[in-house]
């Protein structure tokens, strides 16, 4: 039987981890516990962690939600510090009130699992980033410093309030995207940026996947500073809450321009001239743009239901070919973000008998190998599927050995989120 442990301060987190190490009891690290469906199943509602042989390991949940609150926010310095358990919505509201934003546009992934919410620690631990990643970078590019407790029960910190404070090993980058397998994060310092004065989105209508890829590449390679490039095939576009998108009657390719009003107007007009020969054009202004890009960020077309969902990172020019190969083996629905470099592919149920054992993992990853490489993550599937399938892209031998050594350094007893990313790690 699992138990939720809720420390209220860093010293208690360290004491809890030290106790767990001594008793060799695994800990599931959570904030709002909204993303338990991401990665291999662990504790809590799943009844225990997965051991190396697939057996359940009884452990406890380390709930960091009480480490909450913004302890420092200096808008003029573009810096914010908050507890790892601080709700992401609270931080977004605070910076929006000052005309600022989290430029990496973290997706609210919990919505894919029928939940809502999420914390700053969860966004950083999973390195979540939205459509603006192609221009602003990922979450790890905006983390200035972190504090945490390692799997040895040792409190540590890395970085500070400004980039120049980072000396020695930049552990902030290492922790970002480690899914709680190396440390329990307790405090995070991030940089924020001014929100754009105006946003416009150019819609190119009716393009197939290949033509859309060429359009996105053309726009991204131009001097017009495109901050979002996505392509929604007809069936996906029809689900949008934005009338210009759902009513287009076909596929929609979207290109976002942000910034000061006169600059946005000039760049939008230049993009229209650049892309006008490709198809009919429409334009979304700020309110509709915000709704549309939030839908793309949070994978809104695939939120309903529980069909298996893949997140595929591919060479942008090969994205359409990857989708075509996967669809030949297992029917599904896809759309593209990050200029075609990010593919969301939802398998249509029921999964073909030939693919049921690995939920299409072999097909998806072989398609990537045939078309320039990349990686694929099974973002949503039943617990029993994620317990037997390599949820994250399998690592080459050298990288796997390095991952194991890093894990040994921070968590030698395999206490923190054991096996969430890879079996035995």
- State the fold for domain 196-389: Vanillyl-alcohol Oxidase; Chain A, domain 3 (3.40.462)
- The reported pLDDT for the residue numbered 424 is 73
Record the pTM. Answer: 0.92
Give residue-wise pLDDT tens across range 159-206: 876 655 555 568 999 999 999 999 999 999 999 999 999 999 999 999
Three-state SS string over the chain comes to CCCEECCCCHHHHHHHHHHHHHHCCCEEEECCCCCCCCCCCCCHHHCCEECCCCCEECCEEEECCCCCCEEEEEHHHCEEEEECCCEHHHHHHHHHCCCEECCCCCCCHHHHHCCCCCEHHHHHHCCCCCCCHHHHCCHHHCEEEEEEEECCCCEEEEECCCHHHCCCCCHHHHHCCCCCCCEEEEEEEEECEECCCEEEEEEEECCCHHHHHHHHHHHHCCCCCEEEEEEECHHHHCCCCCHHHHCCCCCEEEEEEEECHHHHHHHHHHHHHHHCCCCCEEEECHHHHHHHHHHHHCCHHHCCCCCCEEEEEECHHHHHHHHHHHHHHCCEEEEEEHHHCEEEEEECCCCCHHHCCCCCHHHHHHHHHHCCCEEEEEEECCHHHHHHCCCCCCCCHHHHHHHHHHHHHHCCCCCECCCCCCCCC
- The reported pLDDT for the residue numbered 42 is 80
- The reported pLDDT for the residue numbered 299 is 98
- The reported pLDDT for the residue numbered 351 is 61
- The reported pLDDT for the residue numbered 54 is 43
- Which residues of the chain, if any, have pLDDT below 70? 1-2, 43-58, 161-169, 350-356
CATH 3.30.465.10 location in the chain: 1-195+393-425
- The reported pLDDT for the residue numbered 49 is 43
CATH 3.40.462.10 location in the chain: 196-389
Q: Which top CATH class is 1-195+393-425?
A: alpha beta
């Amino acid at each position: 039987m699992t138990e939720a442990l809720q420390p209220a301060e860093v010293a208690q987190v360290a004491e809890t981890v030290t106790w767990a190490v001594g008793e060799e009891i695994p800990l599931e690290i959570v904030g709002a516990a909204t993303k338990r469906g991401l990665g291999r199943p662990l504790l809590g509602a799943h009844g225990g962690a997965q051991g190396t042989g697939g057996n359940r390991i009884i452990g406890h949940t380390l709930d960091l939600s009480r480490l909450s609150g913004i302890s420092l926010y200096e808008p003029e310095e573009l810096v914010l510090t908050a507890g790892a358990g601080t709700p992401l919505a609270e931080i977004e509201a605070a910076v929006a009130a000052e005309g600022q934003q989290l430029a990496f546009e973290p997706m609210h992934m919990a919505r894919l699992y029928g939940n809502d919410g999420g914390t700053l620690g969860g966004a950083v631990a999973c390195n979540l980033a939205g459509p603006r990643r192609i221009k602003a970078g990922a979450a790890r590019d905006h983390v200035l410093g972190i504090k945490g407790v390692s799997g040895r029960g040792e409190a540590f910190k890395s970085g500070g309030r400004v980039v120049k404070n980072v000396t020695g090993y930049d552990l902030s980058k290492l922790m970002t995207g480690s899914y709680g397998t190396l440390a329990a994060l307790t405090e995070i310092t991030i940089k924020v940026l001014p929100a754009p004065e105006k946003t416009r989105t150019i819609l190119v209508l009716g393009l197939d996947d290949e033509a859309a890829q060429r359009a996105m590449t053309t726009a991204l390679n131009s001097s017009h500073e495109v901050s979002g490039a996505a392509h929604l095939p007809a069936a996906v576009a029809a689900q949008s809450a934005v009338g210009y998108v759902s009513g287009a009657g076909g596929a929609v390719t979207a290109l976002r321009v942000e910034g000061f009003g006169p600059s946005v107007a000039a760049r939008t007009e230049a993009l229209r001239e650049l892309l006008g020969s490709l198809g009919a054009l429409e334009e979304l202004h700020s309110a509709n743009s915000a709704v549309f890009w939030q839908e793309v960020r949070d994978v809104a077309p695939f939120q309903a239901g529980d069909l298996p969902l893949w997140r595929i990172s591919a060479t942008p020019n090969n994205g359409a070919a990857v989708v075509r190969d996967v669809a030949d083996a297992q029917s599904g629905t896809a759309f593209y973000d990050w200029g075609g470099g990010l593919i969301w592919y939802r398998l249509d149920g029921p999964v073909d008998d030939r693919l049921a054992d690995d939920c299409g993992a072999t097909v998806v990853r072989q398609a990537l190998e045939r078309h320039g490489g990349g990686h694929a993550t099974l973002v949503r599937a039943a617990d029993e599927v994620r317990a037997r399938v390599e949820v994250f892209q399998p690592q080459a031998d050298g990288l796997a050995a390095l991952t194991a050594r890093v894990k040994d350094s921070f968590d030698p007893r395999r206490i923190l989120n054991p096996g969430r990313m890879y079996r035995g790690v």
